[in-house]
Amino acid sequence: MYIYNTKKENIMATLDLRNTVKEYINTADIRLLKMIKALAESYQSDEQETFMLSEEQYKMIDKRREAHLKGESKSFTWEQVKQNARNAS
C-alpha cells in the first residue's frame, strides 16, 4: 500500500502501481485478462454515470442560479442549514 503526503510522491506511487499492473498484464493468462477487462469496463461505466447530467438538469441548475443571483430565491447560511437539520430530527 502506498500512502504519501506530497503530490510528487503520489505521482511516483501512481507510476509504481501502473508499472506493477502492466507487469501482471504482460504475464497474465486469459482468465486474468478477462477479469481486468471487466473491472476496467465497470469502472468506466460507473465514472460516466456519476458525472453525467441531462440537458434538462443543466437548464434547471442555470435557472435556479439566475434566480439566486437576482435575489428571487430563498437561501440559507450554513449555520441556518445545520440548525434546520437539528430541528427536523
Q: What is the model's pTM?
A: 0.41
If you average pLDDT over residues 42-71, what whole number do you get?
85
Which three cell numbers mark 39?
473491472
Instruction: Please state the φ and ψ torsions of residue 28, each to the nearest 5 degrees.
Output: -75, 150
Are 84 and 75 a contacting pair, CB within 8 Å?
no
**In the prediction, which pLDDT does 75 show?**
87
pLDDT at residue 7, rounded to an integer: 65
Mean pLDDT to the nearest integer, 20-46: 91
Round to whole Å and give the CA distance between 34 and 25: 10
Q: What is the pLDDT of residue 13?
A: 85
b (16+ CB within 10 A) / e for 42-64: eeeeeeeeeeeeeeeeeeeeeee
Q: What is the pLDDT of residue 1?
A: 42
Q: Extract long-range pairs of 25-34: CB within 8 Å, 24+ residues apart.
A: none
